Structure 1
Amino acid sequence: MISHPSRHCTVELQALPSRIGQVRRIVSAQLRYWHLDSLIDRAALGVTELLTNVHLHARPDKTCTVELELLLDRLTVSVRDHDPRLPVVDDADPLATCGRGLAMVAAMSESWGARPEGDSGKVVWFTLPTAVAVSAPLTAARPPRRAVEETPAHPFPEVEQVGLGRSQPAPARSVVAG
């Protein structure tokens, strides 16, 4: 079930690898709809990590709910499952092939956390700022960067120019199937 009130989106699912990819695409589409394209990669990465943790660790089942909530200058992404055990960030061995997911979520988000939901489960969440904070004033010595590069003139003006608008970034790739 998916609900889309104005600034809220909820997806219920079984945290299986094929479903994780679908939810990542739903999150990306919702953020595009809200004109938050700059958050897509980080939100998709974070939700993938949280859902992977549900898939690998949650008991008694893999049923969970992903929630996106946009409030003022912050996007909150949360995953609610039925396992009351709270996640722990471990110092992964340098040669380990897993165990870095929550550390990655912590590094790429503004804040994150986990809270119990009584005996019925927990919620793990992270936030991303929606506005770019200006950390230093622009100086005259450094000209501002162009956001969009100009398209060169087409050598054959009588030929219809298809697809020469703004270039789109390549879609993000993930290790999780989907």
Structure 2
Amino acid sequence: MHVQAVCRYTLEVRATTERIPGIRRILAAHLRHWKLESQIAPVCRAVGELLGNVVRHVPGDKTCVVELRWTGRRLTVSVADRGRGLPRLTSCCPAKGGLAAVAVLSDSWGTCATETGKVIWFSRLVAQPGNVPRTAHGPRRTVPELMSRPLSEPSQEPDRPGAPAPEPAPAMGRTEARAASGAP
């Protein structure tokens, strides 16, 4: 069984017109790291639109959190800010920017109110899904480790109330798994 971890990156920043290009470069670097070069232009353009909306429409504190999530098949991006007003799609012309541009650059998008403001998100289904890079927080089990129990071990009875939990088999490292399978 292969378990995919979700790669996640968050960036808290005060949105200003001058900072938007730098934020886009940071996000582009993470997308490159995740081997999503084909997603850089549309994602950075859409994030630029959302951050521009924070600059133009959020009164007072313009601190926001930009988040990227990559599952190996879908990339979801969100921008959370402290503005109370939910945005509306006022134009269907993506050339004017704003949410119309985000809608054209994504497969799906939406917004929701939070206790402290709102979140606007969009997602893109990646045509050529890639592997999710392993992170320090993701699962690290490999197939040989999952199959490390001897085949002659008696089957375990289903869980019964009051029955002691079975002892897990010790996990083998990659070198031990290769030696057990006879691989060099």
Q: TM-score range by the shorter chain?
A: 0.5 to 0.7
Looking at structure 2, the residues matched to 17 and 90 of structure 1 have their Cα atoms a distance apart, in angstroms, of 22
Larger Rg belongs to = 2
Q: Work out which of the residue numbers 112, 115, 121 in structure 2 matches 1:115.
A: 112
Matched-pair identity in %: 43
Match of 2:54 in 1: 54
SS class of match (2:19)? helix
Match of 2:127 in 1: 131
Match of 1:137 in 2: none
Looking at structure 2, the residues matched to 31 and 100 of structure 1 have their Cα atoms a distance apart, in angstroms, of 23
Q: Which runs of 5+ in 2 are unaligned?
A: 130-184
Looking at structure 1, the residues matched to 109 and 37 of structure 2 have their Cα atoms a distance apart, in angstroms, of 21
Looking at structure 2, the residues matched to 36 and 26 of structure 1 have their Cα atoms a distance apart, in angstroms, of 14
Looking at structure 2, the residues matched to 27 and 51 of structure 1 have their Cα atoms a distance apart, in angstroms, of 13
Q: CA deviation at 1:6?
A: 6.8
Match of 1:104 in 2: 101
The one-letter code of the counterpart of 2:26 is: I
Looking at structure 1, the residues matched to 20 and 33 of structure 2 have their Cα atoms a distance apart, in angstroms, of 20
Looking at structure 2, the residues matched to 78 and 6 of structure 1 have their Cα atoms a distance apart, in angstroms, of 15
Q: CA deviation at 1:71?
A: 1.8
Q: CA deviation at 1:132?
A: 4.2
Contact 1:90 1:100 (8 Å CA) reproduced: no
Q: CA deviation at 1:23?
A: 0.7
Q: CA deviation at 1:99?
A: 5.0
The one-letter code of the counterpart of 1:38 is: S
Question: Pairwise mapping of residues 163-178 of structure 1 onto structure 2 (< 5 A)?
Answer: none
Contact 2:112 2:120 (8 Å CA) reproduced: yes
Looking at structure 1, the residues matched to 18 and 50 of structure 2 have their Cα atoms a distance apart, in angstroms, of 15
Q: TM-score, normalised by structure 1?
A: 0.65
SS class of match (1:18)? coil
Deviation beyond 3 Å, 4+ runs, structure 1: none
Q: Which has the higher helix share?
A: 2
Match of 2:65 in 1: 65
* 1:20-56 CA-partner distances (Å, limit 9, x unpaired): 1111001100000000000000000010000000000
Q: Which runs of 5+ in 1 are unaligned?
A: 134-178
SS class of match (2:51)? helix
Looking at structure 2, the residues matched to 20 and 87 of structure 1 have their Cα atoms a distance apart, in angstroms, of 20
SS class of match (1:52)? helix
Contact 1:90 1:99 (8 Å CA) reproduced: no
Aligned pair count reads 124
Q: CA deviation at 1:129?
A: 1.1
Contact 1:110 1:128 (8 Å CA) reproduced: yes
Q: Calculate the aligned-residue CA RMSD, in Å.
A: 2.1
